[in-house]
Amino acid sequence: MGKINTGFDVVQNMISGKWKSIILYQLGAGKKRTKDLLRICEGVSHKVLNEQLKQLQQDGLIQRTVYAEEVPIKVEYALTDYGRSFLPLLKEMCDTGDQHLQKQGVTAYNNSVCEEYTSES
């Protein structure tokens, strides 16, 4: 992306990518392991998922916890407080998308992404 000039540019850069919004939204319901996210993000490759998780971590939206004492090693991802602040925006995106589909007379294929979010507040 070119020069970032606005808050909109910053947010768009942070959540751009096919899977980032879904990952964030799903982590709103609680911690997830990589295998859980692979199941939820149907069609994503392990490589792409790991790249998107790393970018979300670098932006401070999620945290990665490694449980090295467990065999096999367990890795979980969770939202940071900053990441949690994005949930209302993501919920609004889901709602707006649903309204658009409804206007078009189209039934949403699978709304589980939007439905699984529950606020941890």
Q: Where along the chain do its domains lie?
A: 8-115
Residue 120 has what pLDDT? 43
CB 94 within 8 A of CB 32: no
Confidence of residue 113 (pLDDT cuts 50, 70, 90): low
Looking at residue 97, its pLDDT comes to 85
| Average pLDDT rounded to a whole number, residues 50-71 | 95
Percent share of the chain, pLDDT over 70: 86
Tell me the per-residue pLDDT of 67-95, one tens digit each, with 9 for 90 and over. Answer: 988 888 999 999 999 999 999 998 888 88
Per-residue pLDDT band for 31 (boundaries 50, 70, 90) equals: very high
- Is this prediction's pTM over 0.85? no
Q: What is the mean pLDDT of residues 12-33?
A: 92
Residue 46: pLDDT over 50: yes
CB within 8 Å of 27: residues ≥ 6 apart: 62, 77, 78, 79, 83
> So what CATH class is 8-115?
mainly alpha
